[in-house]
């Protein structure tokens, strides 16, 4: 598996799905970069990642161990499917992923954090409403894009 260098490019968008799971390809990129010592400003096991790990009932370190073996995405997905607890069916995965994609800040603290990043990156962008919108915008701007 090629090394991921998140000092040179962002991880995949949280919208990209693997096996129907939103967030998962991004987590895999961050995990591989962490193992390679090139995570940049990205954190494996951040609160967003933990939503995925809670949903599938696995620990971040267990997935990182699989990543350290150099397994490609498809084999990682097979491992997750075999080891998830509880097992999730296709409709549960779709509902969870769709919900994640539409999530917005719901507490005063999360709204403040969201607004702070939004104001720093692109305060003129009025179309940024979800966490995924904000992550995509921040990734784009962090690597030279004009928001």
Cα(27)–Cα(34) distance, rounded to whole angstroms?
10
pLDDT of residue 144: 85
In angstroms, the CA 48 to CA 131 distance is 9
pLDDT by 10s per residue, the chain, length 147: 567 999 999 999 999 999 999 999 999 999 999 999 999 999 999 999 999 999 999 999 999 999 999 999 999 999 999 999 999 999 999 999 999 999 999 999 999 999 999 999 999 999 999 999 999 999 999 998 876
User: Which pLDDT value is given to residue 1?
Assistant: 57
Q: What is the pLDDT of residues 59-78, one digit of tens each?
A: 999 999 999 999 999 999 99
Q: What is the pLDDT of residues 80-100, one digit of tens each?
A: 999 999 999 999 999 999 999
Q: What is the pLDDT of residue 145?
A: 82
pLDDT of residue 146: 74
Q: Is cis: bond before 18, omega within 30 of 0?
A: no
Using a 10 angstrom Cβ sphere, with 0-12 exposed, 13-18 middle and 19 or more buried, the burial of residue 129 is middle
């Amino acid at each position: 598996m090629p090394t991921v260098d998140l000092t040179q490019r962002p991880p995949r968008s949280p919208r990209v799905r693997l096996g129907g799971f939103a967030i998962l390809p991004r987590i895999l990129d961050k995990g591989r970069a962490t193992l390679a010592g090139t995570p940049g400003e990205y954190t494996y096991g951040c609160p967003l990642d933990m939503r995925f790990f809670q949903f599938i009932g696995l620990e971040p370190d267990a997935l990182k161990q699989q990543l350290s073996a150099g397994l490609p995405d498809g084999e990682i997905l097979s491992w997750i499917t075999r080891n998830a607890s509880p097992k999730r069916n296709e409709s549960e995965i779709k509902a969870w992923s769709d919900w994640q994609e539409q999530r917005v800040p719901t507490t005063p603290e999360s709204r403040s954090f969201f607004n702070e990043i939004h104001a720093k990156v692109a305060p003129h962008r009025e179309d940024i409403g979800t966490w995924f919108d904000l992550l995509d915008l921040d990734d784009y701007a962090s690597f030279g894009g004009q928001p």
